[in-house]
Amino acid sequence: LYTAPDSCEGRCGEPFNEEDECHCHPGCEAEHNCCEDHERHCGPDGFSSSSGSISERELLELSEQLYGLDHNKARPSDIALNPQHLAGPDETGDKQDRSPQPLYKYVNEELFSKPTYASFIKLLDNYQRATGREEEVTAEELREQERFLEEVMKTELMKKLFAFLQGKDRYSSEQEFLQDLNQMWFGLYSRGDGERDSSGFEHVFSGEVKKGKVSGFHNWIRFYLLEKQGVLNYFSHNFDGPWDTYPDVLGLQFSWDGFYKEVGSAFIGCSPEFEFGLYTLCFLARPGRACHLSLGGHRLSVQTYPWTKATYGGGRRFIATAYVMSP
């Protein structure tokens, strides 16, 4: 669990994938491409039995189930988008605003009164966006984190994810799962010079500014709220997914208070628990690698990376980033 991509921990028996740095499938010994710890984890007396690994097929099936359980997602009538300019590969980096209108023409804000949305939105103002500035976490902010986790765990979607992970011997109880979610997503680490200035949640959902550029920031609700406030300027999109309902996927170019994001991919119209659950699944199943999923019959991939410079709870890793990949 939470291993770097050069380990077989939790990966025994998984299918060969040429993107992997090293391999843990049954034939790797004959092909001389096993990870160094393959024998320790996957040998007859190894730590990681193949029953704990998550196969490609299981990821495809579970992601379709989670997609079907996103009961809080936006309906087609809840959001009206105005994507405007489709940027070519040579246009995404030139910081030209080719879309004079906002991306969101309309969002039904009644969505935001649903418990998982309301508790998610409360978290967004808890962060200093500049890396290198220590985060100060108040008692109220800790309660807001707990409330969000409580609300998402009430959903059928997150209960399904937990049941799957429990069946893989990853967690023995829902309480253990909740505590680990809290650490991997909200635990603080340093992206700068030792200041505890970042967390997976801040990076992925709220967004940061590092070296003059927007870093992370992959959430549609955050985008809409900042665009409505007038501090975010939508420039163009370079990818629009094949879905004709929500969730959909967009690849975006935008400026946040003058800081530019060259390509910021995001699910559009999903509930907070859908994104949170899907990214968690991929981080646990394929940390540091592409995680291949299926939503509504369409394939897509999520990329996650563990933070390698700090650990918690006996060597577990924080989330560094997670995002849906747009071609």
Give 53's contacts (C-beta < 8 A, 6+ positions apart): 10, 11, 12, 13, 14, 24, 168
- Is 39 contained in some domain? yes
The DSSP element (H or E) to which 157 belongs, if any, is helix 156-167
Note whether 11 and 141 are same-domain residues: no
Domain count, the chain: 2
Q: Taking 90 as the threshold, does the pLDDT of residue 68 lie above it?
A: yes
- Residue pair 148/106 in contact (Cβ under 8 Å)? The answer is no
Q: Give the pLDDT score at 130.
A: 81
Strand, helix or coil for residue 203? helix
Q: Which residues pair with 290 in a beta bridge?
A: 303
Note whether 127 and 88 are same-domain residues: yes
Q: What is the Cα Rg of the chain in Å?
A: 20
Q: Return the DSSP state at 202.
A: I
List the alpha helices (DSSP H) in 25-155: 28-31, 38-42, 56-68, 115-123, 139-153
- Residue pair 200/99 in contact (Cβ under 8 Å)? The answer is no
CA-CA distance, 100 to 111, in Å (whole number)? 27
Note whether 10 and 118 are same-domain residues: no
- Is 237 contained in some domain? yes
Note whether 111 and 238 are same-domain residues: yes
- Is 50 contained in some domain? no
Domain span at residue 27?
1-43
Q: Taking 80 as the threshold, does the pLDDT of residue 2 lie above it?
A: no
Q: How far is CA 292 from CA 33, 126, 157, in A?
A: 22, 32, 19
CA-CA distance, 142 to 245, in Å (whole number)? 35
Q: Give the pLDDT score at 327.
A: 65
216, 240, 264: which is closest to 82 by C-alpha?
240
- pTM for the model stands at 0.86
HSE-up (13 A, CA, CB side) for residue 117: 19
Give 203's contacts (C-beta < 8 A, 6+ positions apart): 215, 216, 319, 320, 321
Tokens at 256, concatenated:
């946040």
- Is 48 contained in some domain? no
Q: Return the DSSP state at 189.
A: B
**CB neighbourhood size of 10 (10 A):** 24
Structure confidence by residue, pLDDT tens digits, 8-67:
877 887 888 888 889 888 888 888 888 888 887 787 655 444 557 888 999 999 999 999
- Residue pair 71/35 in contact (Cβ under 8 Å)? The answer is no
Q: Give the pLDDT score at 53.
A: 82
- Residue pair 213/261 in contact (Cβ under 8 Å)? The answer is yes
Q: Active-site residue numbers?
A: 203, 218, 261
Structure confidence by residue, pLDDT tens digits, 145-156:
999 999 999 999
CA-CA distance, 41 to 3, in Å (whole number)? 12
Q: What is the mean pLDDT of residues 257-267?
A: 95
Note whether 210 and 70 are same-domain residues: yes
Note whether 85 and 125 are same-domain residues: yes
- Residue pair 169/185 in contact (Cβ under 8 Å)? The answer is no
pLDDT band at 1 (very low <50, low <70, confident <90, very high): very low
Note whether 28 and 139 are same-domain residues: no
Q: Give the pLDDT score at 131.
A: 81
HSE-up (13 A, CA, CB side) for residue 291: 26
Note whether 70 and 145 are same-domain residues: yes
- Is 101 contained in some domain? yes
- In the chain, % of residues over pLDDT 90: 72
Note whether 257 and 112 are same-domain residues: yes
Note whether 6 and 122 are same-domain residues: no
Phi, psi (deg, nearest 5) at residue 189? -145, 175
Structure confidence by residue, pLDDT tens digits, 115-160:
999 999 999 998 888 888 888 899 999 999 999 999 999 999 999 9
CA-CA distance, 148 to 26, in Å (whole number)? 41
- Is 51 contained in some domain? no
Note whether 36 and 61 are same-domain residues: no
Note whether 133 and 261 are same-domain residues: yes
CATH of the domain at 14: 4.10.410.20
